[in-house]
Amino acid sequence: MPVIIATAETSGRPWFGGWTWAPLQWVLGFERLGLESYWVDRQGAIDPIKGPHSIDYAMDRFGRMASDFGFHNRWCVDYNHGEQYFGMDSEQFERLVDDTELLINIGGHLLPDSPLMRIPRRAYVDVDPGYTQIWAHQTDIGLDRHNFFFTVGQNVGRPEFRIPAGQVNWEPILPPIVLDLWPARIDPRCQRFSTVADWRGSQCAIFQEEYYGTKREEFIRFLSVPQKAGVRIELALCIGQKDFEDIGLLDGHNWRLRDPYQYAGDPQSYWQFIQYSRAEFSVAKRGYVKSNSGWISDRTACYLASGKPALVQSTGMEWRLPTGTGLVTFCTPEEAVAGIASINQDYLAHADAARRIAEQHFDSYVVLNDLLARVGCTRPQALAACSRSS
């Protein structure tokens, strides 16, 4: 029986390689388990006069991406509330829904009148822990349209999480990585400490008169790290023209900004940027840090799978994963500088440990098998036998 991976507003922005890879790991991960997996995206109206491209351009790129990864006939885009369908027509989509037992809804966005509501098992996958729980306190984000709840925030619902989780029983999950698509490429000649990031992004929230902000605030806190460590950290950074003062600030502190559309603007270039890096260095969005969410990035998991040590800001997830070698966390600029020195001093040990962490904790075969068990399917072959009554 099919599994549908649902997203919103992803297909209309095909120039964000990392944004594509995150759902792609789920689609291809279920495929590796022998399940028929489909990617369904809901896309709002695109105005080619105001935006960079037309819907036809976006759908052509999305379709070519699906073909590149072997699911050319297993994707569908519902454009502008059913005005038009791409990838399959409305009748094919309706038949797919009626045959599907499990919906993986990444980031929510499930409308009450969506045909996807007919799928008996509907899992909400929270990729913005802290923000999601704040938003749920303030508005209807459609949680009641799901009957399973997973989050990449390893602390959500635990005492150390600083946002009340409400009545939802959030279950922690790690981002799945299809390891055969992310082979270890351990090469000490690689010099780039790097990450792919959005300077401001759209995630921010105010809860109990406290601000849960963006990644910009955290980068500013750690502005001095490259100079103190004596390295040039490369950012494939989505940053606006109006942030020219911030661009100058970063450049003056030994950060090297790369054009994200050139260096990570499709799945292949995103893959190469990571594979040819030495290690990751990244901060987290302030909301992930301030809420002590235990957030873990799918991007960091890709670095680890590639045999690239990851030096990342702590969100409180150390209890969940082995840290210190391969995966190194920091809370202060001094700890970040020490982490860079540690990675450089014993690079091969860190690189080998990085790949082992990915194999032991992020392997899509393990992560998705565990999810299937938690939604009532004890093994992949059992999905077809799942009762349609949840």
Rounded to an integer, what distance in angstroms lies between the CA atom of residue 251 and that of residue 234?
10
Residue 381 pLDDT greater than 70, yes or no: no
Confidence band, pLDDT 50/70/90 cuts, at residue 188: very high
- Is 210 domain-assigned? yes
Domain count across the chain = 2
Rounded to an integer, what distance in angstroms lies between the CA atom of residue 359 and that of residue 374?
21
Q: Report the CATH number at residue 208.
A: 3.40.50.2000
Q: Report the CATH number at residue 56.
A: 3.40.50
- Is 334 domain-assigned? yes
Q: Is residue 224 located within the same domain as residue 95?
A: no
DSSP codes joined into one string, 199-266: SS-S--EEETTEEE--HHHHHHHTTTHHHHHT--EEEEEE--GGGHHHHHHHHHTTEEEE-HHHHSSS
- pLDDT by residue (tens digit) across 27-85? 999 999 999 999 999 999 998 888 788 999 999 999 999 999 999 999 999 999 999 99
- Is 326 domain-assigned? yes
> What are the φ/ψ torsions at residue 274 (nearest 5 degrees)?
-75, -45
**pLDDT score of 313:** 98
3-state secondary structure of 345: helix
- Is 390 domain-assigned? no
pTM above 0.85, yes or no: yes
- Is 151 domain-assigned? yes
Residue 91 pLDDT greater than 50, yes or no: yes
Rounded to an integer, what distance in angstroms lies between the CA atom of residue 318 and that of residue 293?
11
Residue 25 pLDDT greater than 70, yes or no: yes
- Is 198 domain-assigned? yes
Q: Is residue 33 located within the same domain as residue 69?
A: yes
Residue 383 pLDDT greater than 70, yes or no: no
Rounded to an integer, what distance in angstroms lies between the CA atom of residue 106 and that of residue 343?
33
Q: Is residue 341 located within the same domain as residue 208?
A: yes
Enclosing H/E stretch for 373: helix 364-374
- Is 224 domain-assigned? yes
User: Which residue range(s) make up the domain with 96?
Assistant: 2-176+364-385
Q: Are strands 121-126 and 148-151 parallel, antiparallel or unpaired?
A: parallel
**pLDDT score of 239:** 92
Look at the alpha carbons of 15, 19, 21, 24 in this order and tell me if their dihedral is positive or negative: negative
**pLDDT score of 382:** 44
> What percentage of the chain exceeds 70 in pLDDT?
97
